[in-house]
Every structure is written in C-alpha cells, then in structure tokens.
Amino acid sequence: MGFVTTVSQCLLCHEPTQMVELCHVSFGSIVRCQQCALVRVSPFRSSEQLATLHASLEYFQHPYFEARRDLAREESVAKQRALLSTLIDGSSLKKIRLLDIGCDTGALLVVARDEFGMDVMGVEVSREASTVAQQQNGLNVVNDFNELRGLRGTFDVITLVDVIEHVANPAALLEEVSQLLRAGGKVYIITPNHDALINKLGLILHRVLGTRARSLIEKLYIPYHEFYFTEATLARLVKQSGLQIERQTMKEFPLNEFGHGLILKLGLVPIFAAQRLTRRQTLQELVAVK
Ligand SMILES: [Zn+2]
C-alpha cells in the first residue's frame, strides 16, 4: 500500500477524505477513497484533458476498438441486437427514441435504426469516429454533449457503453442523463467491474513485483480510464442521480474483442473460469429507470 493523499471532497461520498494508493502506474496512481471505496486515477484530470485524450487518433486506433470494429458483421449485429432486446418492451409499438453516448462509429445505432425501427442519435467526442458514423452510416451524431440541452425529457433509452469510466465527473453525467430521459425512460450502463478477480490478482502481482509487473498492470489500468467502479460504488452513483436500479449483473469480457496477443488470451481462460464461478467477472451491466 502506497501513499495517502487528502482531498477536500470525494465525488461519490461528498466527504473530505483520504485517498489511499492501490498501485502506481506510469501516468500516476490508482487510489481508493477511505470512506466510500471509490477507485480512481490520481492526479485527477479535467474534462478538457480527458476530451483531448479521447479525441486523439491514438485513442481511436486503440487495439480494443480495432478488435471490436473488426468483428464479423453478423457477430457485431448479434451483439447489438442482444443488448437492445433486453431494453425494450416487446409489446410497445411506439417508436423508441435512443441516445447512445460515446457511440464510436455507430454500430449500436445502426442496428437500433435498421432492425428495431428506433429514432436514433449519438454523441461522440472523437471526430474520426463521428465522421464515420455520419458519412458511412448516415447517423445523427454530435461531438459536444451541450448540444443535447434542448432535447431534455425526450429520450426513451440512453446507452452508456464503456463510457462512465472515461469522464471527469460521472455524477454530473448521470444527472444530465436523468434530465435527458423521459419519465419511465431507461439508462443502460456497461463498465469494468473493479471487484473482478483479475484486478485482485493484478494488485497482488504489483505488491510482489513492483514496477516489473507494470506492463500487466497497465492492461488493467489504462490511461483512458478515470474511474474503476465496484458493484457498490456504481449502484451508489446511479441512485444518487435519482434513477432506480432495475438490474445490475456481472458479465465476462468477450475474448474475441481483446485486442492483445494469443498468449495473454490463453492466460485469461482459467482466470475467467474462476471469475464466473465466484461471480466476479470483468464487466458489470446496469439498467436503471427514471
Ligand atoms: Zn468517497
């Protein structure tokens, strides 16, 4: 366990608190609030710094996104279809208005529009990604979240796929999501689960090997993530924004979307099996209602 730093107010528990270092990475430290156990990067980064990071070409070309975009079309469509099916009431004939925040090139929105007949819109900070979404997929995608202000209370479903861990203030984001939803509307969130066994293993390795474990540690703690939510901290954040949790489930990271080498993938197979048995998988999914 490393240093302790004092902050005047934690984003989740709103208390003056001490942040304890869990591990050291090349871009700072991963720290945990002593009061509420919120895990985040230190030093904290501003929304401007994070927007610059996420708008970069390097981010657009991250192996994780490349692997996801390289999925066979049928496989990708099946994945988006499964996600959307869990969110809609099959008996409803009303045209559903969907907003995908952090929509990348628009894979989810295309399926929502073409297969489910939804009225769709996206927000994406990366201009490379939004240009593909607009020009190749004919989607309505804006780059700036502020452009949505006039649409408050109009969305039936809002999706946040691997987004909440990337922003400077997830509490403010969820409050805005709540504003954008109509009464009874739903938000879908998927984000890494910091209770996953692989995180515990990584932190043990870090304690034993120090900086020699860094390349492995930095597969778990990547420079683009500002926050690492556990089941409890994510639930608390969502409830604080006034939304009611409908379900929260653990889910495994699909190995075919893991943009790294075969040896690392093979090493993950037994870890993922243990995670499934202990219900401490790599990802968590949450659906909440306004
Ligand atoms: Zn806290």
For residue 142, give Cα distances in angstroms to 65, 75, 118, 131, 150.
Answer: 20, 27, 18, 10, 13
Q: Which has the minimum average pLDDT: 7-11, 75-79, 137-141, 254-258? A: 254-258
Report the CATH fold assignment for 54-192+232-289. Answer: Rossmann fold (3.40.50)
Distance from the CA of 10 to the center of ligand 1, in angstroms? Answer: 5
Residue 94 pLDDT greater than 90, yes or no = no
Distance from the CA of 197 to the center of ligand 1, in angstroms? Answer: 22
Instruction: Retrieve residue 7's tokens.
Output: 């902050």
Distance from the CA of 109 to the center of ligand 1, in angstroms? Answer: 35
Distance from the CA of 114 to the center of ligand 1, in angstroms? Answer: 43
For all residues of the chain together, what is the average pLDDT?
90
**57-86 burial string, b = 16+ CB within 10 Å, else e?**
eebbeeebbebbeebeeeebbebbeebbee
Considering the entire predicted model, what is its pTM?
Answer: 0.92
With CA atoms as reference, report the closest residue to 124 among 141, 111, 138.
141
Distance from the CA of 233 to the center of ligand 1, in angstroms? Answer: 9
Residue 226 pLDDT greater than 60, yes or no = yes
Distance from the CA of 278 to the center of ligand 1, in angstroms? Answer: 26
Distance from the CA of 162 to the center of ligand 1, in angstroms? Answer: 22
70: confidence class by pLDDT, cuts 50, 70, 90: low
Domain range list for the chain? 1-44+195-228, 54-192+232-289
Distance from the CA of 38 to the center of ligand 1, in angstroms? Answer: 6
Rounded to the nearest 10 degrees, the angle between the axes of helix 262-278 and helix 197-209 is: 120
Tell me the pLDDT tens digit for each residue of 227-277. 999 999 999 999 999 999 999 999 998 877 776 678 878 888 899 999 999
Distance from the CA of 45 to the center of ligand 1, in angstroms? Answer: 17
Backbone angles phi, psi at 87, to 5 degrees: -100, -15
Per-residue pLDDT at 71 = 60
What residues are neighbours of ligand 1 (ion), with CB under 5 Å?
Answer: 10, 12-13, 33, 35-36, 38
Rounded CA-CA distance 236/288 in Å is: 12
Distance from the CA of 219 to the center of ligand 1, in angstroms? Answer: 25
Tell me the pLDDT tens digit for each residue of 163-204. 999 999 999 999 999 999 999 999 999 999 999 999 999 999
Whether 119 contacts 155, CB under 8 Å: no
Per-residue pLDDT at 255 = 79
Per-residue pLDDT at 5 = 80
Residue 91 pLDDT greater than 80, yes or no = no
Per-residue pLDDT at 179 = 96
Distance from the CA of 36 to the center of ligand 1, in angstroms? Answer: 4
Distance from the CA of 15 to the center of ligand 1, in angstroms? Answer: 6
Quick check: helix, strand or coil at residue 8? coil
